[in-house]
Amino acid sequence: QSVLTQPPSLSAAPGQKVTISCSGSSSNIGKNYVSWYQQLPGTAPKLLIYDNNKRPSGIPDRFSGSKSATSATLGITGLQTGDEADYYCGTWDSSLSAGVFGGGTQLTVL
């Protein structure tokens, strides 16, 4: 049981927009920045968004992040088949004094 809650799976057509939600609590998302990671099959996770809404160099602006209270959202526009992956939200939990992740969302682009 993950501390952060994500939908297990989502699907959308190429070119469409999708949003992935991440729900937490006052001790994690409510107090700390959220980051998002993309994991393609058989590879290590890759940072997509940090500090709620910042993109690392090289990440296209099709990817965006937002946070409100104890929830966060990853948005992906102009979906491509190469976006098929597992997506994870993560943050620090101030009560646990440890990092926490969501259970992951498997995105299918069909």
Partner 1 sequence: EVQLVESGGGLVQPGGSLRLSCAASGFTFSTYSMHWVRQAPGKGLEYVSAISSDGGSTYYANSVKGRFTISRDNSKNTLYLQMGSLRPEDMAVYYCARDPNWNYPHFDYWGQGTLVTVSS
Using CB under 8 A as the criterion, which residues of the chain lie in contact with partner 1 when the complex forms? Answer: 2, 32-33, 35, 37, 39, 44-47, 50-51, 56, 86, 88, 90, 92, 96-104
Helix, coil or strand: residue 69: coil
Cβ contact 16:68 at 8 Å: no
Distance CA 54, CA 52 (A): 6
Q: Which is nearer to partner 1, 84 or 86 (CB)?
A: 86
**What is the residue type of 102?**
G
User: What are the C-alpha distances in Å from 61 to residues 41, 42, 69, 79, 98?
Assistant: 22, 25, 24, 12, 30
**Kindly report the CA angle at 54 between 70 and 20, in degrees rounded to 5?**
50
Q: Which is nearer to partner 1, 15 or 56 (CB)?
A: 56
Q: Which is nearer to partner 1, 24 or 102 (CB)?
A: 102
We find the least distance from the C-beta atom of residue 80 to partner 1, in angstroms, to be 22
We find the least distance from the C-beta atom of residue 96 to partner 1, in angstroms, to be 7
We find the least distance from the C-beta atom of residue 61 to partner 1, in angstroms, to be 18
We find the least distance from the C-beta atom of residue 32 to partner 1, in angstroms, to be 6
Q: Which is nearer to partner 1, 56 or 60 (CB)?
A: 56
